Amino acid sequence: MYSDQLLNELREKARILRRDVIVSIGVGVAGHIGGSNSAADLVAALYFYKMHHDPKTPKLEDRDRFLLSKGHVAILQYAALAESGYFPVEDLKHTKEIGFYLQGHPDVQKTPGIEAGTGSLGQGLSIGLGMALGMRLKGIDRRVYVLLGDGELAEGQVWEAAMAASAYHADRLVAIVDQNGLQANGWIEERYNSYPIREKWESFGWRVLETDGHDMEQILTVLDDASRPEGKPTVILAKTIKGKGVSFAENVVGFHNGMLTEELYRKALAELS
């Protein structure tokens, strides 16, 4: 269905995003490797295949919207924005510097391409629902994509927004759950167990799609499927590996927000070369 050229280009984009994440973190400063790398394939598919957006006109009215509800992995979105042309890739190395426009969480007032200030977990889906309903009122036939972490599903506001989205038949709203199984303090099923996830979304009246979050062809298929309006919101449950692509960080809770030594920094870049 999809050409090998397209799939390979998007896989390469995901590799570049993971490399940019490491560059953004640098040495001796804590950064969210785990949740950034687990969602890199999803974000690559959105920015470089699915979404209609224009880096020359970030506030173009006729655009798809992307909301990073798990805003602590802002470095992943910054990488996608930089590689799309919203600002220079070279600026990523200055992420989190005091006064710089690339802060630890998304800042809608300072960073081009950011749709909302997020990172206080649980709020992104509510904001996305408001945007989707506003677009419907204006007759804008675009989508709002909201990326959530599976640990974030413990937030009650997520389910308030889910119930409201179903009640308003918000079929321009697409939630994507980065289901890597880990949160800051350990495995989700051992901490604040949000399972079963599929059944919960279905009971709230959502259309549920599932994918391997690292299989680019599967990702494109579910994104295209999610574009079909069926009178209800859609959620994509993407099974992923926390820290994907960096051997020492994969499924290691310490790299939810981990610090790199010079040796680990060079090792990570080498693995992503």
Percent of the chain, pLDDT > 70?
100
DSSP code, position 110: T
Enumerate long-range contacts of 98-106, CB under 8 Å, 24 or more apart. Answer: 102/24, 102/74, 102/78, 103/74, 104/72, 104/74, 105/71, 105/72, 105/74, 106/68, 106/71, 106/74, 106/77
pLDDT single digits (tens) 38-93: 999 999 999 999 999 999 999 999 999 999 999 999 999 999 999 999 999 999 99
**CATH number for 74:** 3.40.50.970
The dihedral built from the CA positions of residue 113, 165, 142 and 150, taken in this order, carries a sign that is positive
Res 7 pLDDT > 90: yes
Structural domain for 92, as ranges: 4-271
- Model confidence at 185, pLDDT cuts 50, 70, 90, reads confident
Helix, strand, or coil here: 222?
Answer: helix
Residue 229 in this model has a pLDDT that exceeds 90: no
Instruction: State the average pLDDT for the chain.
Output: 96
In Å, how far are 15, 54, 65, 198, 229 from 141, measured between CA atoms?
31, 16, 11, 27, 10
Task: Please give the Cα distance from 152 to 184 (Å, whole number).
Answer: 10
How confident is the model at residue 21, as a pLDDT?
98
**pLDDT given for residue 36 in this prediction:** 98
Q: 192: pLDDT confidence band, cut at 50, 70 and 90?
A: confident
Helices then strands (H, E): number in the chain? 9, 7
216-226 vs 4-25: helix axis angle to the nearest 10? Answer: 100
Residue 143 sits at the vertex; the CA angle it makes with 140 and 144, to the nearest 5 degrees, is 115
What confidence category does residue 227 fall into, taking pLDDT thresholds of 50, 70 and 90?
Answer: very high
Say how many domains are in the chain.
1
The residue ranges of DSSP E strands in 24-98, in sequence order, are: 65-68
Confidence class for position 172, pLDDT limits 50, 70, 90: very high
Surface-to-core class of residue 52, CB atoms within 10 Å of its CB (0-12 exposed, 13-18 middle, 19+ buried): exposed
Amino acid at 18: R
pTM of the predicted structure, to 2 decimals: 0.97
Residue 191 CA: distances (Å) to CA of 39, 151, 187, 201, 244? 21, 9, 6, 20, 22
Please give the pLDDT value at position 184.
Answer: 86
pLDDT at 249 over 90: yes
User: CA-CA distance, 33 to 252, in Å (whole number)?
Assistant: 10
pLDDT at 1 over 90: no
pLDDT digits (tens, 9 = 90+) for 112-166: 999 999 989 999 999 999 999 999 999 999 999 999 999 999 999 999 999 999 9
DSSP lists the bridge partners of residue 68 as 147
